Amino acid sequence: MPPRHRPAQSLANPAIPYVWKGRLEYLIVQGQKRRALRYLDKQMDHKWPLFTGDPAFEDERRKALRLRVQLLREWGWFSEALAWLSLECELFPGNAEAEATKEWLMHTLNMPDADRIPEQAARDEAGNRWAGVAGMHELKAILERDVIGPMRNPDLYRQYGVSLPNGVLLYGPPGCGKTFVARKLAARLGFYFREVKGSDIASTYVHGTQGLIGKLFEEVRSNAPALLFLDELDAFIPRRTDNGVWYHYVAEVSEFLKQLDNAWASRVLVVGATNLPTRIDEAALRPGRLDKKVYVGPPDLEARVELFRLYLANRPQKEIDLLACAQMTENYTCAEIALVVADAARAALESRTEIDLTHIMQATLSVPAQHTAADIERYRQMAKEQDCH
């Protein structure tokens, strides 16, 4: 007889990913933490015979487990997080990532066993440097697992055969906060942060940029451990096989690749951001260069609530249902939400009234989301086409 809670059948369909995330986000925004966790439990139920062994379902299940552990850590429920990781390791002893995460969390909390949590260590872990990044729990979980954990305790991750990142590629639609995420990642790691755009190192002399690239990496190495953030990476390292890439750009791309090689050996984490991952030279995405590819999509429901709260602050307003605002702006980017609030404020100013939900609704009609759900999915798949994800 099947278990009481049956996972959604669409979990097994790779063409409909993350179908359960909307409900989960709603429960979290409503403050229903335990219900959110119980809902995640349903997605992780591996006993349902219809889905046993289905790779797509198992992939969704791993994402649900990763999210559950991340939420428990963010909410300060560390013993429960460790209990779930321990159960996962017992049920699936080959899950090296779960083993490494469990050991790292115990190490971070300075715990000899899972039943005792030193108060100060727990406060340090709970008061993490993701402050200011509302929602986006999946993104934070990926960065914690694939970047922060391995860099903070490399020997432990090597012991479990989990690779250490040399560089990270943040990709996704424009206006979704990739630069903000890079800054917060540097803060979470406690690294020196250096942001560079293509125009910052451009030279009027042919091959002059090559020298500037070398000086840039030298500067960052002198401040290690450091995070070097390269915005619009496709402009730094364009595909050398594309038409229109001048000869001297080929030399500059080669210089970048040379500097990228094993940058972490000098304790420099290189993070690139792009809206167009398919325009980046393939050589930059090979092991030992930009190893980890992380999708940064539009803000989720919880993040949109906080964005509306932020952008409406200090403006004359009636009591506005921020959840309703967030629900009507699915797939909106951070920049688009800022524009919605600005248009709503402008309309309220013209009528000399306080901003209300009607103003927000009307503004969404004049500022529709640039990207549809299909567009967002294409962005998710974009890097996979180049074997980037």
List of residues 6+ apart from 29 with CB closer than 8 A: 301, 302, 305, 323, 326
pLDDT tens, residue by residue, 300-335: 999 999 999 999 999 999 999 999 999 999 999 999
Q: Is residue 386 part of a domain?
A: no
Arithmetic mean of pLDDT, 229-253 = 72
Phi and psi at 193, nearest 5°, equal -120, 130
Phi and psi at 160, nearest 5°, equal -95, 5
pLDDT tens, residue by residue, 98-138: 888 888 777 766 654 444 444 444 444 544 557 777 888 88
| pLDDT at res. 79 | 82
Phi and psi at 61, nearest 5°, equal -65, -40
- What CATH number is associated with residue 243? 3.40.50.300
Arithmetic mean of pLDDT, 157-170 = 86
* AA letter at 88: E
157 versus 169: the higher-pLDDT residue is 169
pLDDT tens, residue by residue, 190-208: 899 999 886 666 544 344 4
Q: Identify whether residues 284 and 327 lie together within a single domain.
A: no
Arithmetic mean of pLDDT, 235-258 = 70
Q: Is residue 227 part of a domain?
A: yes
| pLDDT at res. 122 | 47
Residue from 278, 291, 271 nearest 180 by CA: 271
Q: Identify whether residues 174 and 124 lie together within a single domain.
A: no
pLDDT band at 46 (very low <50, low <70, confident <90, very high): low
Using the 3D structure, point to which of 96, 120, 148 is the last residue of a domain. Answer: 148
Work out whether the CA dihedral 296, 378, 61, 90 comes out positive or negative: negative
pLDDT band at 5 (very low <50, low <70, confident <90, very high): very low
Bond preceding residue 225 cis, omega within 30 of 0: yes
Q: Identify whether residues 256 and 344 lie together within a single domain.
A: no
Q: Measured in whole angstroms, how far is the alpha carbon of residue 386 from the centre of its chain?
A: 19
pLDDT band at 15 (very low <50, low <70, confident <90, very high): very low
Q: Is residue 379 part of a domain?
A: no
Q: Is residue 382 part of a domain?
A: no
Length of the chain: 389
| pLDDT at res. 1 | 35
List of residues 6+ apart from 298 with CB closer than 8 A: 173, 176, 330, 331, 332, 333, 334, 369, 371, 376
Give the Cβ contact number of residue 385 at 10 Å: 11
Q: Identify whether residues 45 and 115 lie together within a single domain.
A: yes
Judged by DSSP in three states, 315 sits in: coil
List of residues 6+ apart from 8 with CB closer than 8 A: 19, 20, 43
pLDDT band at 67 (very low <50, low <70, confident <90, very high): confident
Tally of domains in the chain: 3
Q: Is residue 323 part of a domain?
A: yes
Q: Strand pairing of 192-196 and 292-295? A: unpaired
Give the separation between CA 231 and CA 44, rounded to whole angstroms. Answer: 37
Give the separation between CA 76 and CA 73, rounded to whole angstroms. Answer: 5
Q: Identify whether residues 313 and 362 lie together within a single domain.
A: yes
pLDDT band at 227 (very low <50, low <70, confident <90, very high): very high
Q: Identify whether residues 173 and 284 lie together within a single domain.
A: yes
Tokens of 233: 């990476």
Give the separation between CA 107 and CA 196, rounded to whole angstroms. Answer: 34
Q: Identify whether residues 204 and 129 lie together within a single domain.
A: no
The average confidence (pLDDT) of the chain is 79
- Judged against a pLDDT cut of 70, whether residue 50 lies above it is answered with no
Phi and psi at 322, nearest 5°, equal -65, -30
Give the separation between CA 74 and CA 134, rounded to whole angstroms. Answer: 11
Q: Identify whether residues 352 and 256 lie together within a single domain.
A: no
Tokens of 309: 């709260």
Domain that holds residue 37: 9-148
Residue carrying structure tokens 């990496």: 217
- Judged against a pLDDT cut of 90, whether residue 257 lies above it is answered with no
- Judged against a pLDDT cut of 80, whether residue 34 lies above it is answered with yes
Q: Is residue 223 part of a domain?
A: yes
- Judged against a pLDDT cut of 70, whether residue 249 lies above it is answered with no
- Judged against a pLDDT cut of 70, whether residue 18 lies above it is answered with no
- Judged against a pLDDT cut of 50, whether residue 149 lies above it is answered with yes
Q: Identify whether residues 102 and 78 lie together within a single domain.
A: yes
| pLDDT at res. 110 | 64
- What CATH number is associated with residue 324? 1.10.8.60
Q: Identify whether residues 206 and 247 lie together within a single domain.
A: yes
| pLDDT at res. 313 | 93
- Judged against a pLDDT cut of 90, whether residue 348 lies above it is answered with yes
- Judged against a pLDDT cut of 80, whether residue 52 lies above it is answered with no
Tokens of 75: 């909410």
Arithmetic mean of pLDDT, 48-75 = 73
Q: Is residue 389 part of a domain?
A: no
Q: Is residue 188 part of a domain?
A: yes
- Judged against a pLDDT cut of 80, whether residue 252 lies above it is answered with no
pLDDT band at 35 (very low <50, low <70, confident <90, very high): very high
Q: Identify whether residues 122 and 187 lie together within a single domain.
A: no
250 versus 341: the higher-pLDDT residue is 341
Q: Identify whether residues 233 and 364 lie together within a single domain.
A: no
Using the 3D structure, point to which of 296, 324, 357 is the last residue of a domain. Answer: 296
